[in-house]
Each structure stands twice: as C-alpha cells, then as structure tokens.
Structure 1
Amino acid sequence: MKLIGIEEHFLTPEVKDAWSTIGLDAADPSVAFHGGPLAKRLADLAEERLALMDETGLDVQVLSLTTPSLHDLGPESVELTRRANDAVAEAIARHPDRFQALATLPVAMPDEAALELERCVRTLGFKGTMLCGRVGHRNLDHADLLPIFKSAAALKAPILLHPRAPEKAVRDAYYSGFSPQVDAAFSCFGLGWHYDAGIQFLRLVLAGHFDRFPDLQVILGHWGELVLFYAERIANMDRVSGLAHPMATYFRRNLSVTASGIYLPHYLEQAARIVGHDRLLFSTDYPYQYRPGRDARRFLENCGLDKAATQGFAHGNWERLIAGLPQPA
C-alpha cells in the first residue's frame, strides 16, 4: 500500500543564512532547533533522505520549508522564495515518484505570495503551500493576507498550517521561568507551537474565511493542534460567532488532519470522530520525529482502521484532496 507523508521538511543553506542575517534566533527560539544532526537531514534532498524513507516505509514525501519559513523577512524574501521553490522542483524532477512539494511563499508580500503560489502550482506542479502562523505581528486572518487565501481557494490548493513560536510577550507570560533550554522547548515543541497553530485555524474560521472561500482547504498537523480535543467546547461559540454555519461544519468541510509522526491510535480515533475518516492524512514530520525500525509502516499496519479507511489514510485522502489542482503547463 502506497504511503505518502504530507508534512516532511527541508531547509536550504540560503534560508538558514537569511535567518542569521536578520538575527531571527533572538526573536524565535525555534531557529536553534535546526542545527546539529538535523541540519544535514534537512539540507539533503537526495540519497540519505531516500534511504531513510525506505527504512521507515514511506514511499513519497511532500516537502515543505521548515518553520519559521520566511515569515519574518521582507521584500528580499521574494527572490529567496523563488530559488527555494526552484531547488525543490529540481529535486522532484530527479525523483518524481518519491517527492512532491508545498510551496514556500514570501508571505510578508501577500500579492507576490499569491503569484508565487500560482506559479508553483501551475508551472512547477506543487500540491499546495505551508504557512507558519503569524507574519510579523499579523495573525493569518489579517486582511492584508487575504490575497494568499484567495489564490489558494481559486487554485484548490490546500494550506498546511504549521506551528511557530508564540510571540515573545506570550512566551514571557506563559512559557518562561525555567532554564533557557526548558523555556525554549516549552514554548515551541513542548506545547506553545501547537496552541499557536490551533489558534490560527480558529481565527481563520471566526474571521469568516471559510464563508468567504467555501472551498478553501486547510490541514493541521499533530492530530489537529489540540483544537480537535476541545471541539465540543469550541462549538459553544456558535451562539456568538455570527458565521454562516456551526463550527462543526468547518471542521468537517474545510479541515484535514495529519499525524506528524505521533503514532497513537486513540488520537487517530478522536480525529476521525471530529473530521471524518476521509480527512485523515499521514505524515512523519521528518526529520524531527524520525525513528528507525519501519516505524511509519508499522503504525499504518496497526492503526485499527478497516482496509478502505487505511488506504485513505495512507494515500487516498491526500490524492483526493489535491485532485482538483490545475495540471502544470
């Protein structure tokens, strides 16, 4: 059974240098997480990555630039984005059966970002895009960023909402007071990342993006970035939201959920209960959650779904989600 991982990351040396140039490590503690052994795996788009895919049982990786992507760069990100996307397109051309991609966008320049998404889909054959939370101090529902969502909806290109570190004021208020290492972990992969990503999705719902663009499709990793576990509580906002539909409708119509390497069947069951089996997607969150021993394939084989639902989870739901994309020129 073909197994596609839709949240699998890379990082180019040029992007890493751009982060360093603007001193992003001082504002975003997650920048420091991309060094050491992870740096080599993030940079490699060839034989080592393919070998580790084979080892864990993954047939296809959908590549995306790791968090915080280019959300903190200004006009200089336009050309940087094009070069990153072109580099990934070259890797796909070398291994078309093993790699797909989500577009990197110059999100601080929304009109240019919308055009780059169109180029990536229509010319390079990419399958959507990934956004990493806030753009500077703007949440994703900010009116300035509407061109990106309008373009994605028109292209039928899904958007993966990836976590990023909360703002410094939030980190100081809720995630500080321990050692620097604990503070950074607590505010990022320990918990803060996931609250931030889930909140970004809820902001898009409450801002009316899915009423404005009913076909817009969003993906949350890590089994729904916490919000699925509070879906019943979140539904109480129906009394005040003023939206066209109940909150539950947007969970089942506009949201898909992926594993991100968290291989827990009871999380899968909860996600299926809220969004439906046809909106479950597989991912390993490479290289962050990589574990040896055919880990991905073993979870698929023991996830508890029937054959049809397992096929959907493994590849069919993703293929259906991207079926409406324009064919590359």
Structure 2
Amino acid sequence: MTLIGIEEHYLTAEVRDAWDAIGLAATDPSAGLHSGVLERRLLDLTGERIALMDETGLDIQVLSLTTPALHDLGPQSLDLARRANDAVAEAVLRWPNRLQALATLPVAMPDEAALELERCVRTLGFKGAMLCGRVGDRNLDHPDLFPMFKSAEALAVPVLLHPRTPASAVRAAYYSGFTPEVDAAFAMYALGWHYDAGIQFIRLMLAGTFDRLPGLQVILGHWGEVVLFYAERLAALDRVSGLEQPIATYLRRNLYVTASGMFLPGYLAQASAIVGADRLLFSTDFPYQYRPGGDARRFLSECGLAEPEKKGFAHGNWMRLTGTGSA
C-alpha cells in the first residue's frame, strides 16, 4: 500500500542565512533549532532523505519549508520564495515517484504570494501551500492576507497551517519562568506551537473565511493542533458567532487532519470521529519525528482502521484532495 507523508520538511541554506542575518532566533527560537543532524537532513533534498524514507517505510514525501519559513523576512522573501520553490521543483523532477511539494510563499506581500502560489501549482506542479501562522503582528485572518486563501480556493489546492512560536508577549505571559531551554521548548514543540496553529484555524473560521471561500481546504497537523480535543466546547460559539454554518460543519467540510508523526491510534480514532475518515492524512513530520525501523509502516498496519479507510489514510485521501490520480 502506497504511503504518502504530507508534512515533511526541508530548509535551504539561503533561507537559514536570511534568518541569521536578521537575528531571528532572538525573537523566534525555532529559527535556532536547526543544527547538527536536523540541519543536515533538512538541507538534503534527495540523497539521505530518500534512504531514510525507505528506512521508515514512506513511499512519498510532500516537501514544505520548515517553520518559521519566510514569515519574518519582508520584501526580500519574494525572491527567496521563488528560489526555494525552484530548488524543490528540481528535486521533485529528479525523484518524481518519491517527492511532491507544497509552495512556500512571500507572505509579507499577499498579492505577490497569491501569484507565486499560482506559479507553483500551474507551472511547477505543486500540490498546495504551507503557512506558518502570524505574519508580523497580523493573524492569518487579517484582511490583508485574504488573497492567499482566495488563490488556494481558486486553484483547488489545500493550505497546511503549520505551527510557529507564539508572539514574545504571549511567551512571556504563559511560557516563561523556568530555564531558558525549558521556556523555549514549552513555547515551541511541547505545547505553544500547537495552540498557536489551532488558534489560527479557529480565527479563520470565526472571521467567516470559510463562508466566503466554502471550497477552501485547510490541513492541521498533530491530529488537529488541539482543536479537535475541544470541538464540543468550540460548538458553543454557534450561539454567538453569526456564521452561516455550525462549527461542526466547518470541521467536516473545510478541515483535513494529519498525524505529524504522532503515531497514537486513540488520537486517530478521535480525529476520524470528528472530521471523518475521508479527511485523515498520513505524515511523519520528517526530520523532527523521524523514527527508524519501519515505524511509519508499522503504525499504518496497526492503526485500527478498516481496509478501505486505511487506504484513504495512507494515500487515497491525499490523492483525492489534490487531484493526483485515482485513490
């Protein structure tokens, strides 16, 4: 059974150097995470990457630029985005049966970002885009950023909302008071990242984005970035939201959920109950959650889904979502 991982990351040396040039790690510690083995695996687009895919049992990786992507880089991000996307397109051409890609966008310039997404989809054959939360002090529901989502709906491609580190004021209020190492981990991969990504999705929903763009499809990793665990409480917003549909409708109509290497059957079962088995996507969150020994293939075999739903989870749902052949 073909196994496609849809949240698998890369980095380019040029983007890393651009982060370093503006001292980004001082305000977003995730920019300083990428060193040693992690950096080597992120920078490698084909050689070791393909071997490690074989080791864990993954047939195809869908590549996306790791967090915090280009969200803090201003006007220079336009050329950076084009060069990063072109580099990934070259890797996909070398390994067309093993690699696919999501576009990275110059989000500081939303109109140009919409055009870059169109170029990536129509010319380079990319399957969608990935966004990493806030753009400066703007949340993703800010009216300035709407052109990116409008373009995604028009192109019929999904947008993966990836976590990023909460704003400095939020970190100071909620994720500080321990050692610097603990504060940073608490604000990032332990919890803060995931709350932040989930809140971005909820904001898009409450802002009426899915009423204006009913065909827009958004993907959340890590089994829904906490959102699904509070679906019942979020439904209470129906009394006050003024939206056209109940919250539960948007969760089943506009949201896909992926594993991000969290190989826990209980989480999968809960996600399936809320969004539907036809909206489950597989991913390993390479290289952050990389575990050798056929781990991805083992989770698929033991996940508890019936065979048709397992096939959808492994590859069919992604193929249907992106129009890449028969599921």
Q: Which TM bucket (shorter chain)?
A: over 0.9
Q: Secondary structure at the match of 1:262?
A: coil
- Residue matched to 2:134: 134
- Residue matched to 2:122: 122
Q: Secondary structure at the match of 2:116?
A: helix
- Residue matched to 1:291: 291
> 2:281 matched to 1:252?
no
- Residue matched to 2:31: 31
1:122, distance to aligned residue in structure 2 (A): 0.2
CA distance in 2, matches of 1:270, 1:80: 39
> 2:308 matched to 1:308?
yes
1:46, distance to aligned residue in structure 2 (A): 1.2
Read off the aligned partner of 2:256 and give its amino acid letter: S
1:172, distance to aligned residue in structure 2 (A): 0.3
1:60, distance to aligned residue in structure 2 (A): 0.2
CA contact (8 A) 1:105 1:113 kept: yes
Read off the aligned partner of 2:102 and give its amino acid letter: L
- Residue matched to 1:106: 106
Task: Give CA deviations for 1:110-161 in whole Å, capped at 9, x if unaligned.
Answer: 0100000000000000000000000001000000001101100100110000
CA distance in 1, matches of 2:219, 2:251: 10
CA distance in 1, matches of 2:296, 2:324: 28
Read off the aligned partner of 2:220 and give its amino acid letter: L
- Residue matched to 1:211: 211
- What is the percentage of aligned positions where both structures have the same residue? 74
> 2:161 matched to 1:161?
yes
- The TM-score, its normalising length taken from structure 2, stands at 0.99
1:162, distance to aligned residue in structure 2 (A): 0.2
- The TM-score, its normalising length taken from structure 1, stands at 0.98
Q: Secondary structure at the match of 2:33?
A: helix
1:324, distance to aligned residue in structure 2 (A): 8.2
Q: Secondary structure at the match of 2:256?
A: strand
Read off the aligned partner of 1:283 and give its amino acid letter: S
Task: Give CA deviations for 1:308-329 in whole Å, capped at 9, x if unaligned.
Answer: 000000000000001189xxxx
- Residue matched to 1:318: 318
1:32, distance to aligned residue in structure 2 (A): 1.5
Query: What is the 5 A alignment of 1:166-315?
Result: 166-315=166-315
- Residue matched to 2:79: 79
CA contact (8 A) 1:156 1:324 kept: no
CA distance in 2, matches of 1:212, 1:88: 32
Read off the aligned partner of 1:236 and give its amino acid letter: A
Query: What is the 5 A alignment of 1:10-89?
Result: 10-89=10-89
CA distance in 1, matches of 2:150, 2:66: 23
Q: Secondary structure at the match of 2:87?
A: helix
CA distance in 2, matches of 1:265, 1:164: 26
Q: Secondary structure at the match of 1:76?
A: helix
CA distance in 1, matches of 2:109, 2:78: 8
Task: Give CA deviations for 1:81-126 in whole Å, capped at 9, x if unaligned.
Answer: 1000000000000000000000000000001000000000000000
Task: Give CA deviations for 1:32-53 in whole Å, capped at 9, x if unaligned.
Answer: 2111210000000112000000
Return 5+ residue gaps in structure 1 as ranges.
none
Task: Give CA deviations for 1:167-194 in whole Å, capped at 9, x if unaligned.
Answer: 0000000000000000000000010000
CA distance in 1, matches of 2:49, 2:73: 28
Runs of 4 or more, structure 1, over 4 Å off, are none
Read off the aligned partner of 1:46 and give its amino acid letter: T
CA distance in 2, matches of 1:237, 1:64: 33
CA distance in 2, matches of 1:99, 1:324: 13
Q: Secondary structure at the match of 2:53?
A: helix
Task: Give CA deviations for 1:204-229 in whole Å, capped at 9, x if unaligned.
Answer: 00000000000000000000000100
Q: Secondary structure at the match of 1:106?
A: coil
* Alignment size in residue pairs: 325
CA distance in 2, matches of 1:122, 1:47: 27
Task: Give CA deviations for 1:231-270 in whole Å, capped at 9, x if unaligned.
Answer: 0000000000000000000000000000000000000000
